Amino acid sequence: MVTRLALDTVIKQALEEDIRQGDITSDILIDESADATAHISAKEDFILAGSLVAARVFEIIDPDIRIRTFFNDGDSVRSGDTIITLDGGLRNILAGERVALNFLARLCGIATMTRRYVEAVKGSGVKIYDTRKTTPNLRYMEKEAVIAGGGYNHRFGLYDGILIKDNHVKYCGGVAKAVFEAKKHRMNYVKIEVEVKSLAQVREAITAGADIIMLDNMPPDTVKEALAIVGGKAVTEVSGGVTMENVADYAKRSPDFISVGALTHSARAVDISLLIE
């Protein structure tokens, strides 16, 4: 989904950040013409994401490195599995190692946490969504990792969806006023989502004709009542305070989807290494 142009910019900046005037260790220890085979391998079990990003790091450093991948994004990888094998100039392989692993470990971490949430709600028909709580400048990649994990993407930015949040509601003087105001405007082709914090606000949102209602920080039982009020007249999203412990509980209430900020802001990196033969 991410275009190659956008991807390359991020990767080139990351390489520049790490390498700059050169890898002074390899420059003095590794012969310029030395070739090697290197394996990028899992050191724990996880869901793969970002394998194309990691491969692209090496393509950008040196188009002559031969890259073989053995899994697709979304696959379950076991500790010990080789994910990518590289053949080519050893200096260039080592120059890209850290950047490639930093991307990969982070993106796999996101996919893995997403998969755990998806598994936790399995059978409920409820979808797991991400948020805009992503790492600055890595949003596209991270949202792709969410998809690799089996999740879905919420809006990409302030520009591609109307989401009326608490601060907007406060400014407009209420949920109904805010939704009415939004509907008056020039956005025939965009759905209107509104964040609500109480059952009273749910009723306002329905009356005002919101397309999507975000039930913010409500306990599962309140969510149940809210969904009864909505009665299928709008798409429903549960958001705020969702954890691995309570997500199944929320899913039982059958909202359309549940969004989880932690997928992108708090996933831990998985353990991956690069070793030469």
Residues between 38 and 77 with contacts to a copy of itself, criterion CB under 8 A: 38, 60-61
Give min distance, CB of 17 to a copy of itself, in A.
6
| 150 contacts 118 by C-beta, under 8 angstroms | yes
| 102 contacts 37 by C-beta, under 8 angstroms | no
- Largest Cα–Cα separation, the chain: 72
* In 121-138, alpha helices (H): none
Specify the stretch interacting with a copy of itself by CB under 8 A; choose among 73-81, 154-162, 219-227, 242-250: 154-162
Catalytic, 184? Answer no
CA distance 182 to 209: 10
Specify the stretch interacting with a copy of itself by CB under 8 A; choose among 74-82, 90-98, 116-124, 220-228: 90-98
CA distance 100 to 162: 35
CA distance 224 to 153: 24
| 106 contacts 119 by C-beta, under 8 angstroms | no
Under the binding rule (CB under 8 A), the answer on residue 25 touching a copy of itself is yes
Specify the stretch interacting with a copy of itself by CB under 8 A; choose among 4-12, 81-89, 202-210, 219-227: 4-12
In the bound state with a copy of itself, the residue whose beta carbon lies nearer, of 189 and 231, is 189
Give min distance, CB of 224 to a copy of itself, in A.
20
Contacts with a copy of itself, 206-245, as mask; x by CB under 8 A: -----xx----------------------x-x--------
In the bound state with a copy of itself, the residue whose beta carbon lies nearer, of 177 and 252, is 177
Contacts with a copy of itself, 244-273, as mask; x by CB under 8 A: ------------xx---xx--xx-xx----
Under the binding rule (CB under 8 A), the answer on residue 204 touching a copy of itself is no
φ, ψ of residue 75 in degrees (nearest 5) = -70, 150
Using the rule CB under 8 A, which residue among 74, 116, 124, 168 binds a copy of itself?
168
Q: Please name the residues in contact with 178: beta carbons below 8 A apart, sequence gap of 6 or more.
A: 164, 168, 169, 171, 172, 194, 208
Under the binding rule (CB under 8 A), the answer on residue 122 touching a copy of itself is no
| 214 contacts 256 by C-beta, under 8 angstroms | no
Catalytic, 106? Answer no
Catalytic, 216? Answer yes
Tell me the β-bridge partners of 127: 257
Q: Residue 185 corresponds to which tokens in the numbers above?
A: 């405007």
Q: Residue 43: name the closest of 108, 117, 115, 111 by CA.
A: 108
Give min distance, CB of 248 to a copy of itself, in A.
21
- Catalytic pick from 165, 170, 191, 268? 165
Catalytic, 133? Answer yes
In the bound state with a copy of itself, the residue whose beta carbon lies nearer, of 137 and 207, is 137
In the bound state with a copy of itself, the residue whose beta carbon lies nearer, of 2 and 248, is 2
Scanning the structure block, which residue is given the tokens 């005037």? 21
Show which residues are catalytic.
98, 133, 165, 195, 216
